[in-house]
Amino acid sequence: MRPKTTTASFRLDESAPGVLQEDAREQNISVNALINQLVLAYANYAHPMKSINSRTNRKFFARLSPAVFPPGFSDII
């Protein structure tokens, strides 16, 4: 069974849609699916890391993120 979804609207910097479309095309997924993956990655990994006050864990996550997340993801955490 598919997870329930909700509709949201966001304003993006002018340069973002082109980058998102290019990355989605390269991954053979929709822009919606790509944005959902990015938001879920932030909600499940980056956001909880903000509450951890350990430099070691943040350094580890920063080193791990390029291998796990798309380029530029570490810029939003």
At 23 the pLDDT is 94
At 25 the pLDDT is 96
CA–CA separation, 21 and 62 (whole Å): 25
At 27 the pLDDT is 94
Compute the half-sphere exposure of residue 66: CA atoms within 13 Å on the CB side of its CA.
4
Q: Where are the domains of the chain?
A: 51-77
At 68 the pLDDT is 61
State the 10-residue block means of pLDDT for the chain, 77 residues long: 87 92 95 91 71 60 64 58
